[in-house]
Structure 1
Amino acid sequence: MSITNNAQHSDVIYQADPAAVQHLHGVRESLHQCCKPYLNHHVCVQTLDGQMHEGVLAGMDGRHVYLDVTAPEMSRGFFNPYPGVYPSPYYPGVPYGGNAILPLVLFELLAISLI
């Protein structure tokens, strides 16, 4: 399957400002450098829309911070539905009464503080 670049079908609706893109790359790098020493520490994370999440800083990648939280506190995340059959250190809990990994988008974070 080939993709053609047809002008009538490829009108750009939005394109990020190059200065904003460069700034966002800097924010991502800064977050990685600040958070790396605090992996496996108990933290409180505040998002831009005011949500607060407490948990253990479990990891990071280019798009997300992963917070290990108690399942009843969370409304989204990943969990291991078969903890006895497929044990995993990354998804250790069950949906209720256990732990779950809550992915938070890097660019929606306002503050991360140690607890």
Structure 2
Amino acid sequence: MYMNPSQYPGHHGSQVLYQADPNWQHEMMQKRNTIMGALHPHVGRTIRVTTLDGHTYEGVLVNVDGHHAYLQVNTHAQHHGQHRPIYTPAQYNQILTLVLFELLVIVLLA
């Protein structure tokens, strides 16, 4: 159900910084459900994911829910001997949480 931000309790006098078009909500929910349906049968398999921002990740899909895909990546193998970014944890197997809305391309590898 769509509510105007001014209708929310406790938000009197608040300034709206962003408000999505109410018609956009239905389409985004359909896209999210499509992506989740495409991924769910492949839990446990290796995939490559490219995000809207152009980042590419490869790893095992360990879970998918209504909002996120969880990808276990091997950061050591991921960078193939290149310098690892400073923001990458020093773990070799980590689980990335990827937002379904931000996934642009998903490729099944194995």
Distance in structure 2 (CA, Å) of the matches to 1:37 and 1:99: 23
Corresponding residue for residue 95 of structure 2: 101
Sequence identity, in percent? 39
Partner of 2:61: 57
Amino acid at match of 1:4: G
Question: Corresponding residue for 1:15?
Answer: 19
**Paired residue type of 1:68:** Q
After superposition, residues 73-92 of structure 1 pair within 5 angstroms as 73=78
Query: Distance in 1 between the 2:27 and 2:47 partners?
Result: 25
Whether 1:36 and 2:40 are equivalent positions in the alignment is: yes
Query: Could you list the per-position Cα deviations for residues 25-76 of structure 1 after superposition, in whole angstroms to 9, with x for gaps in the alignment?
Result: 1111111111111111110001111111100011112221100100333855
State the match for 2:3 in structure 1.
none
- Gaps in structure 1 of 5+ consecutive residues: 78-94
Match in the other structure for 1:82: none
Q: Pairwise CA RMSD of aligned residues?
A: 2.0
Alignment-mate amino acid for residue 102 of structure 1: L
1:26 aligned counterpart, secondary structure: helix
Q: Distance in 2 between matches of 1:5 and 1:53?
A: 40
Q: How many residues align?
A: 93
**Structure number having the greater helix percentage:** 2
- Measure, in 2, the Cα distance between the counterparts of 1:76 and 1:62: 26
SS of corresponding position for 2:60: strand
SS in 2 for 1:111: strand
Q: Is the 8 A contact 2:36 2:100 kept in 1?
A: no
